[in-house]
Structure 1
Amino acid sequence: MVAIFFAGMAAGTINTVVGSGTLITFPTLLAIGIPPVTANVSNTLGLVPGSLSGAIGYRRELSGQRERLLRLGSASVLGGVSGAVLLLVLPAQAFQAIVPVLIALGCVLVVLQPMISRRVAARAAARGVERPEHGALWVWLLVYGAGVYGGYFGAAQGVLLMAVLGVGLTETMQRNNATKNVLALLVNLVAAILFIFVADMNWTVAGLIAVGSVIGGQIGATVGRRLPAWALRAFIVAVGVAALTQFLIGS
Structure 2
Amino acid sequence: MTALEALLVLVTGFGAGVLSSTVGVASLLSFPVLVGLGLPPVVANVSNTLGLIPGGVGGVVGYREEVREAGRIAWIIMLVCAVGAVLGAALLLGLPPGVFETIVPFLILFTCLLVGIQPRVAAWLRARHERLHGEQLAERRHMSPTTTFFATVTGVYGGYFGAGAGVMMVAVLGLGTDLELRIVNGLKTLSLMVGNIVAGLIFVVVADPRWDVAGLLAAGSLVGGYVGARIGRKLPDGVFRWSVVAAGIVAAVLLL
TM-score range, shorter chain: over 0.9
* Matching residue within 119, 125, 148 for 1:120: 125
- Find the aligned partners of 1:114 and 1:50 in 2 and give their Cα distance: 30
- Gap regions ≥5 residues in structure 1: none
Taking the aligned partners of 1:90 and 1:121, their CA distance within structure 2 comes to: 43
What SS class does the counterpart of residue 226 from structure 1 fall into? coil
1:66 is displaced (CA, Å) by 2.6
Are the counterparts in 2 of residues 136 and 168 from structure 1 also a CA contact under 8 Å?
Answer: yes
Post-superposition offset of 1:153: 0.7
From 133, 138, 142, give the equivalent of 2:141. Answer: 133
**Counterpart in the other structure of 2:238:** 230
Per the TM alignment, residue 123 of structure 1 is displaced from its structure 2 partner at its CA by 4.4
Cα distance in 1, alignment partners of residues 126 and 80 from structure 2: 24
> What residue in structure 2 maps to residue 153 of structure 1?
161
Query: Which residue in 2 is equivalent to 1:85?
Result: 90
1:162 lines up with 2:167 in the alignment: no
* Partner in structure 2 of residue 65 of structure 1: 70
Corresponding residue for residue 13 of structure 2: 8
C-alpha displacement of 1:132: 4.4
How far 1:92 sits from its partner (Å)?
1.5
Contact 1:121 1:131 in 2 (8 A): no
Distance 1:139 1:124, change over 3 A: farther
C-alpha distance in structure 2 between counterparts of 1:29 and 1:102, whole Å: 24
1:243 aligns with 2:251: yes
Q: How far is 1:124 from its partner?
A: 4.7
- Distance in 1 (alpha carbons) for counterparts of 2:128 and 2:110: 23
1:205 aligns with 2:213: yes
CA positional deviation for 1:64: 2.8
Cα distance, 1:56 vs structure 2:
0.6
Answer yes or no: is the 8 Å Cα contact 1:162–1:177 preserved in 2. yes
Q: CA deviation at 1:120?
A: 3.0
1:19 has 2:24 as partner: yes
Q: CA deviation at 1:131?
A: 5.6
CA distance in 1, matches of 2:76, 2:100: 27
Residues paired across the two proteins, number: 248
> Structure 1 108/150 Cα, relative in aligned 2: closer, same or farther at 3 Å?
same
Partner amino acid, structure 1, of 2:207: A
Q: Does residue 58 of structure 2 align to residue 76 of structure 1? A: no
The one-letter amino acid paired with 1:209 is L
Distance of aligned partners of 1:74 and 1:120 in 2 relative to their CA distance in 1, 3 Å threshold: farther
Q: Mind listing any 5+ residue stretches in structure 2 that lack a counterpart?
A: 1-5
Deviation string 1:223-245 (CA, Å, 9 cap, x unpaired) is 11121000001110110011011
Q: Show the counterpart of 2:185.
A: 177
Aligned residue identity for 2:229: A
Which residue, 175, 184, 187 being the options, matches 2:195?
Answer: 187
- Farther off after superposition, 101-110 or 70-79: 70-79
